[in-house]
Chain A
Amino acid sequence: MAGTGKAHLRNSDDVLLRVEDLVVEFPIGRTGLKVNAVSGISFDVLKGETLGIVGESGCGKSTTGRAIMQLPSPTSGSIVFDGTELTSLSGESMREARTKIQMIFQDPISSLNPRRKVRDIVLEPLSIWNRGTKAEQLAAVDKILEHVGIDPQRAAESQPHQFSGGQCQRISIARSLVLDPKMIICDEPVSALDVSVQAQVVNLLEDLKKEFGLTLVFIAHDLAVVKNISDRIAVMYLGKICEVSGSDDLYRNPAHPYTDVLLSAIPVPDPTVAVKKISVEGEPPSPVSPPDGCRFNTRCPNASDRCRSEEPTLREVEPGHFVACHHPLFGGEAPVAVRGN
């Protein structure tokens, strides 16, 4: 599963975000060791598109989201957003560029300052950037609160802990929208919510996306959640991308053994359906010392010697469907690369 491949990047004028060779490493104290959170991934997002990023806990998907915001900035790689190279910005220009991309976090309670009134929380971005008069700001805030289904009257006098988790997530969404961003990165926005509320929040995001012409990056560990909202899905494992494809193709026809495993883990709400049970053994290897070759080789049912030494690169197995695997479920063996750099 290589991240080195860029076959899936598109050459279009509509590319809003283009991430290339993104590497994020966190040093461990003074041991000289480092956590390889993200190890050279590339992807792009077109205007108005929704990219889903899925993978299990610790695969680097949240780190990827935060690296796009430069919080913290990545170890290396390039992130071009709307024609601007974000990694080269600093100070004031970074502060300003950041407002074009907003992020929604997993924990709705922790995302809101417990000591501030909800309306002030949503007002904060406008007051930082001094957009319009105070009255205009308040009007804009009330409008957006109503939009996401929060009573502005109540928001003016209540603190976050007086709202439910789903409502808090709506408030976070309202805050991210007031600055009129072009892109929203949703970092597991519904993972902490009740299933009944999950659908509401996902639907809200979809509606807002249409209305405000947003581009979304939707990060989740649950393929079922990502399926409906995403146009394109990237599957991550241990800091690398293993498969990129249109959402429908991926579900109908997974090419990577890991995607296959993830898909088989989605519960089917029908007891009469025979469930294809595939499971992988063990835990993902430590990102401190990832395995050589394909990073999935320690748990892959199809792993061969080649997987243990040679890292696969992303290649197209059907139109718009890319996989980084030597032995994918379809599309044939990967051609043997010419050895030596």
Chain B
Amino acid sequence: MSTDSPDTTVNPDDGIVKKKLGVGFWICVIWLGLMVLVALFTPYLPLKSPTKNYLDPSNGRPPYSPSWKHWFGTDKDARDVFARSLHGARISLAVGFSAITAGFLIGGTIGVISGYFRGWLDRISSFVFIVLLSFPSLVLAILLTSLIERSLMTISLVLGLLSIAPVGRLARAATLQYADREFVLAARQIGATDRRIIIKEILPNVAIPMSSLALLGMAVAVVAEGGLAFLGLSVEKGITWGGLIQLGSDSARTLETAPWISFFPILMLFLTVLSLNFAGDRLRTFFDVKEMTL
């Protein structure tokens, strides 16, 4: 992952330095866009069925290795790994997206409000964040998911709950950084209400570090969902990358004789998480408005 600053070019006409996001960023965006499209339209794509058993007696017993007929091979039940991997994008991305949305809506709101108003509200929310953070998150997730009915909604909520504290703390810290700035004081003296100050003065500044965190957070949520699925604790009905990986690595023998079953879902998970991380990182440096000093 690159952390260097985005490429810059100087426009010879006006001498204004223009930042560029770079080719790597756009490759990541294309991959992510592709994944989102796939996730949205899998039922309508001319794919093989993810649940049908494509038994081929002439080829012996499944799993079948990758071939023209089954690009990514099949699993032990002769189901098409390619179709299943694409279907897996659906739930994995949905869980990642809705988890981080829930985390941002709740954690971000609490963080911004407590960073802006401070006082007892801030003390309470900071305490709650610390309590949440001191729980080992995977253990908490396992605990919760083993107690409830595991649907897309509940898994997203559990992962969202886990992201409240880190998101909230970042939002609070970013808000604190701006709440005492003179432009906030200036807004107050021209008669802006607290609500207006938060929306118009604080949020645009806080949104930038938060948006890159959203991409990184989504990567974490996708991985966490994979982890839960690997333990058999993710969404019960449906195909997820974690579930596919778990199927393909249930024993050392499977891994040895049919590595493609887990390899292709792993590859897609890896590329997606990598893209999320890389794009998030690039975005952060790109929007890092240089605050001019005199």
Contacts and interface: CB of A to CB of B under 8 A. Distances in A.
Interface of A: 66, 69, 71, 95-96, 98-99, 101-103, 105-116, 121, 124-125, 128-129, 159, 161, 165, 172, 175, 179, 192-193
B185 A71 contact: yes
B188 interface: yes
Contact of B294 (A69, A109, A111, A175): A109
B289 A114 contact: yes
A124 B190 contact: yes
Contact of A112 (B183, B188, B204, B294): B183
Nearest to B205: A115
Interface in B74-92: none
Given A113-B204, A114-B289, A115-B289, A105 B182 contact: yes
B189 A115 contact: no
A192 B196 CA distance: 29
A161 B191 contact: no
Interface in B266-294: 289-294
22 contacts: A71-B188, A96-B191, A98-B190, A98-B191, A99-B191, A102-B189, A102-B190, A103-B186, A105-B185, A110-B183, A113-B200, A113-B201, A115-B208, A115-B289, A116-B204, A161-B290, A161-B292, A165-B294, A172-B186, A175-B186, A179-B191, A193-B294
Question: Is the contact region of chain B dominated by helix, strand, or loop, or is it mixed?
Answer: helix
Contacts of A114: 205, 289, 291
Given A124-B187, A125-B191, A107 B182 contact: yes
A159 B292 CA distance: 11
Counting chain A CB atoms within 10 Å of each CB, the highest count among B188, B190, B201 belongs to B190
A69 B182 CA distance: 14
A270 B183 CA distance: 40
Given A105-B185, A113-B204, A115-B204, A99 B190 contact: yes
A96 B188 CA distance: 11
Contacts of B9: none
Contacts of A172: 186
Contacts of B8: none
Nearest to A112: B183
A250 to B, nearest CB: 29
A161 B182 CA distance: 15
B253 interface: no
A28 B292 CA distance: 32
Contacts, number: 79
A77 B27 CA distance: 64
A175 B205 contact: no
Contacts of B182: 105-107, 110-111
A105 B190 contact: no
Contact of A128 (B192, B208, B290, B291): B192
B181 interface: yes
A179 B190 contact: yes
Among all A-B residue pairs, the 5 with the closest Cβ atoms: A125-B190, A115-B204, A105-B182, A111-B182, A165-B294
Contact of A129 (B181, B188, B191, B201): B191
A222 to B, nearest CB: 16
A321 B74 CA distance: 97
A103 B189 contact: yes
Contacts of B181: 110
B82 to A, nearest CB: 45
Contacts of A159: 289
A111 B294 CA distance: 13
A102 B187 CA distance: 10
Interface in B182-219: 182-183, 185-193, 196, 200-201, 204-205, 208
B30 to A, nearest CB: 28
A131 B201 CA distance: 20
A108 B292 CA distance: 10
Counting chain B CB atoms within 10 Å of each CB, the highest count among A108, A109, A129 belongs to A109
A66 B185 CA distance: 10
Nearest to B188: A71
B292 A113 contact: no
Contacts of B294: 108-109, 165, 192-193
B292 A109 contact: yes
A98 B189 contact: yes
B19 to A, nearest CB: 13
A66 B290 CA distance: 29
Contact of B183 (A66, A113, A129): A113
Nearest to A66: B185
Contacts of B191: 95-96, 98-99, 125, 128-129, 179
A108 B188 CA distance: 17
Contacts of A95: 191, 193
Contact of B205 (A107, A113, A179, A192): A113
A236 B144 CA distance: 63
